[in-house]
């Protein structure tokens, strides 16, 4: 994995309207980005809280996106503002008509960066304006290839704090802990957005996601939902993505003569019960379903079959292509 760096900023200490959860947000995001779920190093994180001036924040953002890192990520939690000209990340030295670092400045820095992938995550009011240009009354996105933006709210919405964290960041934390992980344990920015989007109802602040990438990089890795060695067997057990794997009572481990209940032939054998254990694990994560029965147990005992789900077929193709 190449160079991955992140600038994480939280600002609570404003001269008027101080906030109370932004530094908590930045601390939590720093901890989650610094390491993968197994403790392996992930992002090199530079955390700067309670920045006092617009110039300091802008300079840090410049440093975040300079160089040619594989991934450069900027996270901000603090006040946001919007006026007739555009949107801003507010710094404590704000004054009328000079609120802080403009969202357009940040986008320009990210657009011009030579880092391969640039990610901007904002938990601030009106942050959905990021990446938009008002042309003849129509908002259009102006995002160069390799840039992804995720914001806590639309350009006309505030972002709320609850229980010491921003509502958006609290969900972001859960997503990075594994809530947004795919079957293999990888957490992409698209998966994070989908997780947060589902959690927020239609009457609450709505997150915004804008991107111009050809592939999504994993933000963090956690324990896979099923061991990768078992997942790879999906290409062995199922000859094609539409193949039905035939089962019979020999796959059910309790179907043994020594068991005190009804048993039927063919009796359980070790090879089949090992395969059945794998298939049950794949069923547990939604990749396999029994055919003609509600449960895998009855599919085996009644000599039915099991098959791949739509998601299972997707992972079957990935295995066959050597991508897992």
> Mind listing the pLDDT tens digit for each residue in 152-171?
998 888 888 788 898 999 99
How far, in Å, CA of 213 to CA of 145, rounded?
6
Residues 6+ apart with CB under 8 A from 211: 143, 147, 148, 149, 189, 190
pLDDT at 157: 80
Which residue range(s) make up the domain with 128? 4-221
CATH, residue 310: 1.10.10
For the residues 82-108, what does the mean pLDDT come to? Answer: 94
End position of a domain, from candidates 181, 199, 221: 221
10 Å CB burial of residue 54 (0-12, 13-18, 19+) is buried
Q: What are the DSSP calls for 134-185, one per residue? A: EETTEEEE---TTEEEEESS-TT----EETTEEHHHHHHHHIIIIIT--TTS
Per-residue pLDDT for 225 more than 60? yes
End position of a domain, from candidates 163, 196, 221: 221
pLDDT at 135: 45
Peptide bond between residue 266 and the one before it cis (omega within 30 degrees of 0): yes
CB 100 within 8 A of CB 150: no
How far, in Å, CA of 205 to CA of 156, rounded?
10
pLDDT interval class at 195 (50, 70, 90) = very high
CB 128 within 8 A of CB 195: no
What percent of the chain has pLDDT above 70? 95
pTM metric for this prediction: 0.84
Per-residue pLDDT for 309 more than 60? yes
Per-residue pLDDT for 136 more than 80? no
Mean pLDDT of all residues in the chain?
A: 92
pLDDT at 139: 56
pLDDT interval class at 131 (50, 70, 90) = confident
Same domain, 204 and 58: yes
Same domain, 34 and 97: yes
Tell me what percent of the chain is helix, strand and coil, each rounded to the nearest 5: 30, 25, 40
End position of a domain, from candidates 175, 198, 221: 221
Q: What does the chain come to in residues?
A: 324
Among 2, 90, 86, 8, CA closest to 46: 8
Distances (CA, A) of 238 to 24, 228, 293: 48, 16, 19
Per-residue pLDDT for 141 more than 80? no
For the residues 89-112, what does the mean pLDDT come to? Answer: 95
Same domain, 66 and 42: yes
Residue with tokens 């933006």: 149
């Amino acid at each position: 994995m190449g160079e991955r760096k992140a600038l994480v900023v939280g600002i609570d200490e404003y001269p008027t309207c101080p906030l109370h959860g932004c530094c908590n947000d930045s601390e939590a995001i720093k901890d989650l980005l610094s390491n993968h779920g197994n403790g392996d190093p992930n992002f090199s994180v530079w955390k700067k809280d309670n920045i006092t001036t617009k110039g300091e924040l802008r300079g840090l953002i410049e440093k975040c996106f300079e160089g040619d890192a594989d991934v450069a990520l900027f996270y901000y939690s603090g006040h946001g503002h919007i006026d007739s000209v555009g949107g801003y990340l507010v710094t404590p030295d704000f004054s009328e008509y000079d609120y802080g670092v403009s969202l357009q400045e940040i986008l320009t820095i990210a657009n011009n960066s030579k880092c391969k992938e640039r990610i901007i995550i904002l938990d601030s009011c009106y942050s959905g304006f990021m990446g938009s240009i008002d042309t003849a009354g129509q908002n259009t996105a102006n995002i160069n290839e390799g840039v992804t933006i995720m914001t806590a709210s639309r350009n006309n919405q505030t972002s709320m704090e609850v229980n010491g964290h921003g509502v958006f960041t609290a969900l972001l934390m859960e997503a990075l802990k594994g809530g947004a992980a795919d079957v293999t344990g990888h957490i992409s920015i698209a998966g994070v957005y989908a997780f947060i989007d589902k959690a927020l109802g239609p009457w609450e602040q709505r997150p915004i996601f804008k991107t111009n990438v050809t592939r999504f990089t994993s933000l963090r890795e956690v324990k896979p939902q099923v061991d990768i060695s078992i997942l790879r067997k999906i290409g062995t057990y199922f000859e094609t993505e539409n193949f039905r794997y035939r089962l019979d009572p020999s796959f059910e481990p309790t179907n043994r003569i020594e068991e005190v209940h009804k048993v039927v032939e063919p009796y359980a054998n070790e090879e089949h019960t090992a395969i059945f254990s794998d298939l049950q694990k794949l069923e547990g994560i939604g990749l396999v379903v029994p055919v003609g029965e509600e449960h895998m147990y009855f599919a085996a005992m009644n000599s039915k079959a099991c098959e791949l789900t739509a998601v299972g077929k997707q992972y079957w193709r990935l295995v066959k292509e050597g991508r897992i």
